[in-house]
Amino acid sequence: MAVDDGERAENSNASGATDETLVSLALIDDRYFEVLVERYERKLQHYIMRFINCSEQDAQDIIQDVFINAYRNLNGFDTGLKFSSWIYRIAHNQAVNHLRRIAARPTVIMDDEAFDALASELNVEHDVGKNMEHAALRAAIGRLDEKYREVIVLRYLEGKSYDEISDILRKPRGSVSSLITRAKKLLRTSLP
């Protein structure tokens, strides 16, 4: 499908709009939803791959379901929430549903930067020495119950704030804080 100059100008103007504005516009014209898809597709793919340790193809399949569900429920989007939290919640739910379907115990994928941030937070260098390998922390996170693993992934790998995690998981901020604290304690005790 050829895109004319008017459509290019419209899409470039839309790319600077807020997510919430794009949602309002997408209710009138589907092309604005495409801007939201472009804005969130890679981010959500990385989140899903880290959270459930799936292949890129599986993540793409889940992402497709995420955007289908988001589009179908766009009228129900609560403008009092951030769109990013709403779409991450949908992605989270789809990822959990995928896990239930395959009944697999996921392993968390962490890059070096995410590992360093979490290791620093846990005082890994102080507690177990500087020779701590990333693999040990990955394995420890993979052994966590889902409720602890999901908050660790959202906080340290996705960089979400406590309020955003609260919106995504639909849990009070205090509960999120408690879950993160407990998860870090469990990680400290399970590390060699």
Residue of 94, 79, 80, 88 whose CA lies nearest to 24 = 79
Task: Produce one character per residue of 115-153: b if its CB has 16 or more CB atoms within 10 Å, e if not.
Answer: beebbeebebeeebeeebeeebbbebbeebeeebbbbbb
CA distance 89 to 96: 10
Convert the pLDDT of each residue in 29-55 to its tens digit: 999 999 999 999 999 999 998 888 888
Domains of the chain and CATH, by start? 5-102 (1.10.1740.10), 112-190 (1.10.10.10)
Number of H helices, E strands in the chain: 11, 0
Residue 44's pLDDT is what? 95
Contact 26, 74 (CB under 8 A): yes
User: pTM of the full predicted structure?
Assistant: 0.65
For residues 100-122, give the mean pLDDT. Answer: 63
Question: How open is the CA angle 176-149-98, to the nearest 5 degrees?
Answer: 110
Where is average pLDDT lowest: 27-41, 62-76, 141-155?
A: 141-155
Convert the pLDDT of each residue in 167-179 to its tens digit: 899 999 999 999 9
Residue 138's pLDDT is what? 76
Per-residue pLDDT band for 68 (boundaries 50, 70, 90) equals very high
For residue 28, give every residue at least 6 positions away whose Cβ sits within 8 Å of its Cβ, in sequence order, or none. Answer: none
